[in-house]
Amino acid sequence: MSSIGASFRLARAGWVLVREGVIAALPGDELTGLPKFGWRLAVMFTRRRALKRVRSDRLANAIARLGPSYAKLGQFLATRPDVVGDDIALDLALLQDAMATFPMSEAVAAIEGSLGRKASDLYTRIDAPVAAASIAQVHPAEVATPEGPRKVAVKVIRPGVRRRFFQDLESYFLAARLQERFVPSSRRLRPVEVTETLAQTTKIEMDFRLEAAAYSELGENTKDDPGFRVPAVDWERTGRDVLTMEWIDGIKLSDVEGLRAAGYDLKAIAATLVQSFLRHTLRDGFFHADMHPGNMFVDTNGDIAAVDLGISGRLGKKERRFLAEILYGFITRDYMRVAEVHFEAGYVPRHHNVAAFAQAIRAIGEPIHGQPAETISMAKLLTLLFEVTELFDMQTRPELVLLQKTMVVVEGVARTLDPAFNMWKTAEPVVGHWIAGNLGPQGLLIDARDGLGALMSLVRQAPDLAARTERLSRQIDAMAENGLRFDAETAKAIGNAEARHTRSGRVALWVIAAAAVYLVWVVT
């Protein structure tokens, strides 16, 4: 029954996207065969007034009809330009704060239910919301302290959003499975794995205690960094459904004229923003992954204050080294080293030729040399790099795509503040310092220390590993002698699972087809 419900919800979502002109806005002229026929049908059933709107407005209207779970889906897909394309990702990014607010009474009920205390005992005042997104809205409030009243920001979860999201999640998985089955070219993008990532990240984002922990971690990492900070968390007034933190008085980075009128040095702010992002990425391996200008303020001290840490990114040591080495390789025109790094990291399969891959890398790097540095985009370079790696069977790496997307946004904000922004000159101190510390003699000592620690851990586990090896050897001998056997119950369970999978897939397809026919009949 859940498959049937998911099929109807998916059919409804598709119909809304058709009627609001979202499908018609796609480049259907480039399609052929059945997909082009489907696109032409979508154009026929699009509302006339929707055809007069730009694509971003069509998306906004469709999301408003589909609800907050689809706004969350759009926000997530905005972080995956490899899946939806750069242009659509930019349109989806505009949906971040496009949701309607919900009543104050529901917000107070959520606060009291999460914290187990009356709102009047926690806050001396709670004002009307000033911002609303797919999962939550933000209220200005005030708390009493020994030093006097203190203004805070209270983020409250949207009522019913968890139940609605997990219902719609079934239809997302159905769409992903159908895409993998019937569109073989999309399998490289791993749509089911992308949907699993969406489910996991949204579970985390819907628990505000985890977002508070992200604020705390980023705050500790950046406490000594110049010009960047995040608001402090009020843990006493934070729970699963509510997050209370320091109120930031400042000017958004999206208000360039306001920043200029206030007398701020826009070039210095741009440099601080980019250097902070690279420092968090390379040094800490933990970065704010939603750094659009509406989420960043310049406070009264002239520091950049970042909010909304619902989406964050992590890079392991291998990924950080990968990033630093490819940037350094492009700077020094050492394309063979850039290619070797891809193979060493395991990103490109070994059956490919390193020299041929280096040739493809050269095709990206050579055009940028000889150009003025301020015209060379680091984010664009990474985008081209990922496009070329597709030719060499490099599988989608979600952590690198999230990094690339965030870098596109950060670099774009910097160029808005300073049109002559020189990304390479600004990045050089941070990247150069990290390379010196991690790829030079000091880095070799650190690697040796880490390797010695891993070796000692392996030695401590040696007795257990020997016992497991002996058991495995006996089991292999037994299988070689007697063959691999299933008991009757296991064989029956496998048969039932396969039959259920096939049956549910057929039911889903028939329900979608029936819903489509019904909708066409209603319209005509």
Q: Is 203 left (phi over 0), alpha (psi -120 to 50) or beta?
A: alpha
Q: What are the backbone angles phi and psi of residue 249, rounded to the nearest 5°?
A: -95, 120
Q: What's the DSSP call for residue 134?
A: S
Task: Return the bridge partners of 250, or none.
Answer: 299
**Helix, strand or coil, per DSSP, at residue 5:** helix
∠ CA 173-179-185, nearest 5°, is 140
Task: Give the CA radius of gyration of the chain.
Answer: 26
What CA–CA distance (Å, rounded) separates 64 from 132? Answer: 13
- Is residue 477 part of the annotated active site? The answer reads no
Between the CA of residue 257 and those of 251, 466, 481, what are the distances in Å?
A: 10, 68, 80
Length of the chain in terms of residues written:
524
Among candidate residues 164, 159, 163, the one with its CA nearest the CA of residue 113: 159
Does residue 333 contact residue 365 with C-beta atoms inside 8 Å? yes
Q: What are the backbone angles phi and psi of residue 54, rounded to the nearest 5°?
A: -75, 165
Catalytic residue, from 82, 241, 290, 308: name it. Answer: 290
What CA–CA distance (Å, rounded) separates 504 from 456? Answer: 50
Calculate the CA 359 to chain-centre distance: 31
Long-range (24+ apart) CB contacts under 8 A made by 363-368 are 363/388, 364/330, 364/388, 365/330, 365/333, 365/335, 365/338, 366/333, 368/330
Strand extents, DSSP E, 27-147: 125-126, 131-132, 136-145
What CA–CA distance (Å, rounded) separates 300 from 375? Answer: 32
First to last CA, the chain: 29
Q: What's the DSSP call for residue 225?
A: S
Strand extents, DSSP E, 271-350: 286-288, 296-299, 304-306, 312-314
Calculate the CA 248 to chain-centre distance: 25
Q: What are the backbone angles phi and psi of residue 11, rounded to the nearest 5°?
A: -65, -40
Q: What's the DSSP call for residue 229?
A: E
∠ CA 116-119-123, nearest 5°, is 125
Tokens 């000594």 belong to which residue? 224
Give the residue numbers marked as catalytic: 290
